[in-house]
Amino acid sequence: MSSRPVCVDLFAGAGGLSLGFEQAGFDVACAVELDPVHCAVHKYNFPETAIICGSVSDVDGAQIRERSGIGFRKVSVVFGGSPCQGFSMIGKRSLDDPRNSLVMDFVRIVVDLQADYFVLENVKGLTVGKHKEFLNELVSEFTKNDYEVVLPWKVLNAAWFGVPQKRERLFIIGARKGLKLPSYPEPLTSPAKGKVPDASLPKGPTVSDAISDLPDAELFDALNSRDWVETELGEPSDYVCRLRGLLPDPTDYSVPRFWNPDLLTSSARTDHNAASRSRFAGAEHGKPEPVSRFLKLDPDGLCNTLRAGTGKDRGAYTAARPIHPVHPRCITVREMARLHSYPDWFRFNRTKWSGAREVGNSVPPLLARAVASSVATAMGYEPKKPSKAIFLGNESLLTCNESSAKEALAVD
């Protein structure tokens, strides 16, 4: 069994936080996710992590310990980004609202596992207006259970951590009383455009840095019926060299994966009509195209916040993917993943709908890595590079719909 510190991912999705914590030197022993399709994708990318396909509200610490095989080992960190659509501020005590119960389940599992540290990620909107009261109640709940929260909580922008995307998210970090408290990470890069946190920091990557080496998906008929093709990629930027595994990344302590770098993956084509293509071609960089309202990416700037849209229970739609800065089409799932700091070995469900949701719902791994590294520093943990690589999961996990995913994962 690995000697790396053990952690658990709640509301795991495809695994952005899982990957960031692994890159910071942690062992993600267990992940809990409700959506079977996302569970299958997590299992493909993290074949050695136990996946519990179900609601966090139905899971307890004993199940997590049993399913992951960690037994009575110490759990160093519980982390997660709870779904944010249901936050309601009606009533005297918002934590008691059933729509907010998932956050209480997060607290319950942290306490149940007696985790040393926790990291909770959510939308920036929770820090304003009546939502602040909800956060104050949440802090009180942790305090009541002998945990200390690092205050003030912090909104972090992914663009401060080498991600070519403006994406602001709330992070709440805490520790069991008596343990050294982590600090929220300080910016590592200055965004290519926009507000600069520190002029002395190196410039972060641009949209062009992230995707200009990828061949146009429109050149490959095969991408009409599947999401991968064998091809050569173009000249990579320094940012992409890391994502393609062409340069060593000194702060990446993840377990290497065996993968085929000659495959362009997660790149299924979108069928746009001629009128749409014409409008996309004429749109101005960095501005929404007037009819569709899709943003046309500025090659020298940042991507706007990639979103997931709504779930099946809310009239399911996928939030608009931006327009490619050069080609008259929306960007592919792989291009989204590049703009989110996912390495090229990491794959998503082959459908554009699920793949785009998996990227848009996730924490960019480089942002997750920075937060996880702050926790590692507080622990006094100095990670080491793993010596052995592992194989990814079976590719059939990427082609699952809900029922076949349940079957593959042996879920009732």
Give me the active site residues, please: 84
* Residue 180 in tokens: 């050294």
What secondary structure letter does DSSP report for 54?
Answer: S
The helix (run of H) or strand (run of E) holding residue 132 is helix 131-144
Q: Is the preceding omega at residue 202 within 30 degrees of 0, hence cis?
A: no
The token pair at 375 is 């926790």
- 390 close to 28: Cβ distance less than 8 angstroms: no
**What residue type is assigned to position 25 of the chain?**
G
Residue 74 burial (C-beta neighbours within 10 Å; 0-12, 13-18, 19+): exposed
Question: Cα separation of 412 and 120, whole Å?
Answer: 29
Residue 102 has which token pair? 């998932």
d(CA 11, CA 31): 8
Place of tokens 């091809």: 231
207-237 burial code (b ≥16 CB/10 A, e <16): bbbbbbbbeebbebeebeeebbbeeeeeebb
- Within 10 angstroms of residue 272's Cβ, the number of other Cβ atoms is 17
Q: Collect all residues with Cβ–Cβ distance below 8 Å to 392 and sequence separation of at least 6.
A: 44, 45, 47, 257, 258, 259, 345, 347
How close are the terminal C-alpha atoms of the chain, in Å?
A: 29
Residues 6+ apart with CB under 8 A from 239: 162, 164, 205, 209, 210
Peptide bond into 152 cis (omega under 30): yes
- CB-based contacts of 72: which residues, under 8 Å, 6+ apart? 65
